[in-house]
Amino acid sequence: MCGIVGYLGNKEKKEILLDGLQELEYRGYDSAGIAVIEGEKLNSFKAVGKLENLREKTKNFHTEHFGVSIGHTRWATHGKPTELNAHPHIGNYSYVVHNGIIENYQILKKALQAEGITFLSQTDTETIVHLFEKYHKELHDPFNAFKQTVQRLEGAYATLLITEADPETIYFAKNGSPMLIGFDGDEIYFASSDTPIIGKAKEVYYLEDGEYGFAKAGTVKLYNASGEKSFTKQALTKDKVLAQKEGYRFFMEKEIYEQSRIMGETIMGRVLDESIDFEELDKEFFKDIHALKICACGTSYHAALTASYLFERIAKIPCHVEIASEFRYKEPLLNKDTLFITISQSGETADTLEALKMAKRAGLRSLTVCNVDNSSIVRESDRAILTRAGIEKGVASTKAFATQTMVLWMLSLYVGQIKGMISKEVLQKEIAAMLHTPKALIVNDTLHEKIRRLSKRYLHGHGFFFIGRDLFYPLALEGALKLKEISYLHAEGYPAGEMKHGPIALADSGLFTVALMPKTLHYEKIKSNVEELSARDATILAISPEPFELADDFIQTAYDSHPMLEFFEMMIVTQLLALEISVRLGNDVDMPRNLAKSVTVE
């Protein structure tokens, strides 16, 4: 999703901005732009499409002296991905970049237009720069003009503004969208996440919601609703976790293959010989907790749904799962005996973050399962368990899902232990399966080749149904999501037993059914469901350790001793299937159309 980089100092600004934006590229964007003020000189460039287009446009532009600069990658929300709609947006003498959504922009825009101001773009962002210049005209004071502007904005924003009226200053404000300030002596950096400034800044301050201010002459002045505020910088990690394809065709492929190795890290120090331990948690944290509520989006929601089966089955604790964007507006009833759990790969998903804030306002204790330390959701939560998946670059999440699911499985045992709901025998059996999981995640070349070959038969048809029961229903949802994200084919996940209540009407040879048929969970039940589809001529791709004679295509899995081992093995099959279909269709596997890695707007 949109990315922001800003820099104030003497170095070559164009390179700092472009390199920083490159670091954010994997999040997804459709246009990019930069603006620089150096002395009296003001320059800006924008380009639709990939950053190479912007690099090409700026190839003869260089900066040599002290100056201020801002850059942005845009993922279209208001208005098409055109050059006019790309950031930075210009007023008469100022530029602005912005992540998030200004919810009241139409009201503000109408009022500004009524005063004779012309808008060039269809974006909500442009309102900020015109509002600033309006107040500047009235107040003749850039800082107060910016402050007044920020006070008028409703919604989520992280924004940077530079202006010829104060050419050595960067103005900033943050509410609901992430933003941080990096420091290296007199040089000051801004970014929407820390990757663009690692290796450049030495210290960092993560802005809080409601904070705004300005950077000038090597210092930062910070304010919130109570006035000027002091702040403490913290050391910024020096190690950039560089993600490379390492010989794989795509990041997604690499991330599928590395699931086995990283799962070892996810369980390290947590799955012990006779117990599960999380150094992040303690017994006290669960005191008087009698229910769990999990909120998440997309793939993380599927991990949450999987967990709801495990929490109720293993820990015997009621567990409700909700899609964060739905939860926010349903006026949910929240009890303080409920632990509020969020799941997020990025830790920046706006809906999940807002759901968490709601739960906190209602006085609930909160825990997040997240892949990114220091992300907004981690900082907002009372406790955080990191999934240790490493940076995930493919927009279609794979290893994040695997590690989230593993953490939640461990957590269900941990809670079961604390509540005294789990026998020694069950604990031992689960621990043995957990320790075996890295093995079940090894991608076998023969299997991959088989999936590659059979993928050619699944490039058409009028849709896919991924079906499963119990734990394999969320996996079916996830398999369908993976396929639609990168193949652009229609795919749905469905509980197998529910097909006869409607969707079976679609069954014919053009309906592709991917049937998840584990041996260890309700095999006979799902077999009957698949037989019903086969009888109506649906094309069946069955995945099971048990040979299934009615399948048109069959992938035999190896594990048949524990549902979670079957789960992870089948997860690999569905991930590879989506990947190979997408490759055959010639799609951009790592950066599928219309999608963003980090969804920071609601």
Interface residues with ligand M6R (CB under 6 A)? 297-300, 344-346, 349, 352, 395-397, 485, 595, 599
Find the angle CA(482)-CA(484)-CA(490) to the nearest 5 degrees: 140
Q: Which residues contact 582 (CB under 8 A, 6 or more apart)?
A: 486, 487, 589, 592
Which backbone phi and psi does 59 adopt, to 5 degrees? Answer: -65, -25
Q: In what order do the strands lie in the sheet with 291-296?
A: 319-323, 291-296, 338-344, 365-370, 383-386
> Would you say 142 or 298 has its CB closer to ligand M6R?
298
Smallest gap from Cβ 29 to ligand M6R, in A, equals 15
CA–CA separation, 313 and 316 (whole Å): 6
Rounded Cα distance, 299 and 305, in Å: 10
CB of 545 to ligand M6R, least distance (A): 27
Residue 13 to residue 64: CA distance in whole angstroms: 8
Q: How far is the CB of 596 from ligand M6R (least distance, A)?
A: 8
Q: Is residue 140 left, alpha or beta, with left meaning phi > 0 and alpha meaning psi from -120 to 50?
A: left
**How many other β-carbons are positioned within 10 Å of the β-carbon of residue 361?**
9
CB atoms < 10 A from the CB of 594, how many?
12
- Whichever of 391 and 595 has its CB closer to ligand M6R, that residue is 595
End-to-end CA separation in angstroms for the chain: 12
Closest approach of ligand M6R to the CB of residue 173, in Å: 24
Nearer to ligand M6R, 63 or 344 (CB): 344
- Tell me the two tokens of residue 383: 């406790």
Q: Of 298, 299, 337, 346, which Cα lies nearest the Cα of 318? A: 337
- CB atoms near residue 457 (< 10 Å): 14
Catalytic residue among 2, 295, 297, 370: 2
C-beta atoms surrounding 446 within 10 Å: 7
Least Å distance, CB 300 to ligand M6R, is 4
Nearer to ligand M6R, 128 or 386 (CB): 386
- Choose between 256 and 396: whose C-beta lies nearer to ligand M6R: 396
Whether 424 is catalytic is no
Output the smallest distance, CB 279 to ligand M6R, in A.
23
The interaxial angle of helices 298-310 and 399-418, nearest 10 deg, is: 30
Please, which residue, 84 or 595, has the CB nearer to ligand M6R?
595
- Of the pair 174, 484, the CB lying nearest ligand M6R is at 484
The continuous run of DSSP H or E covering 531 comes out as: helix 523-535
Nearest to 494 by CA among 524, 520, 510, 515: 515
> In the beta sheet, which residues pair with residue 221?
214
Q: Is the CB of 401 or the CB of 554 nearer to ligand M6R?
A: 401
Which is catalytic among the residues 174, 254, 293, 597? 597
Catalytic residue list contains 2:
yes
State which residue has the least CB distance to ligand M6R.
298
- We find the least distance from the C-beta atom of residue 592 to ligand M6R, in angstroms, to be 8
Whole-angstrom distance, CA of residue 153 vs CA of residue 561 = 56
Minimal distance, residue 239 CB to ligand M6R, in Å: 22
CB of 27 to ligand M6R, least distance (A): 10
Residue 255 vs 470, nearer CB to ligand M6R: 255
Q: One-letter amino acid identity for 62?
A: H
Nearest alpha-carbon partner for 555 in 457, 484, 486, 474: 457
Tokens 């050391």, located at residue:
235
**For residue 4, with 0-12 CB atoms within 10 Å meaning exposed, 13-18 middle and 19 or more buried, which class applies?**
buried
* Closer residue to ligand M6R (CB): 298 or 416: 298
At 379, give phi and psi (nearest 5°). -70, -30
Q: Smallest gap, in angstroms, from Cβ of residue 343 to ligand M6R?
A: 7
Structure tokens that stand for 343 in this block: 């799941």
Three-state SS sequence of 157-187: EEEEEEECCCCCEEEEEEEECCCEEEEECCE
Give the angle subtended at the CA of 571 by the CAs of 510 and 437, to the nearest 5°. Answer: 160
Instruction: Give the residue ranges of DSSP H helices in 25-141.
Output: 51-57, 105-114, 126-139
Beta bridge partners of 383: 367
Active site residues per annotation: 2, 597
